[in-house]
Amino acid sequence: MRHSKKNAGSGVSLYLAKKVINSIGGSIQFESQENHGTTFTLEIPLNT
């Protein structure tokens, strides 16, 4: 994951979201394009 001073952060929220989603059998993915933003894809099972 790229990091810039403009949007600096610790990334803790993304880490926690990934941990919770993985614990229920789901997944989280992202795709970043410089100067265009980031797209997040969440897959969450309906039956846990």
Q: Is 4 a member of any domain? A: no
CA distance 8 to 4: 6
Give residue 27's domain range: 12-43
pLDDT band at 1; cut points 50, 70, 90: very low
Compute the radius of gyration of the chain from its Cα atoms.
13
Give the model's pLDDT for residue 27: 95
Q: Is 5 a member of any domain? A: no
Give the model's pLDDT for residue 12: 83
pLDDT band at 4; cut points 50, 70, 90: low
Q: Which helix (H) or strand (E) holds 2?
A: none
For the chain, the domain total comes to 1
Place of tokens 């410089």: 34
Residue 8: pLDDT over 80: no
- Could you tell me which residues come within 8 angstroms of residue 13 by beta carbon, excluding any fewer than 6 positions away? none
Residue 5: pLDDT over 60: no
Q: Is 25 a member of any domain? A: yes
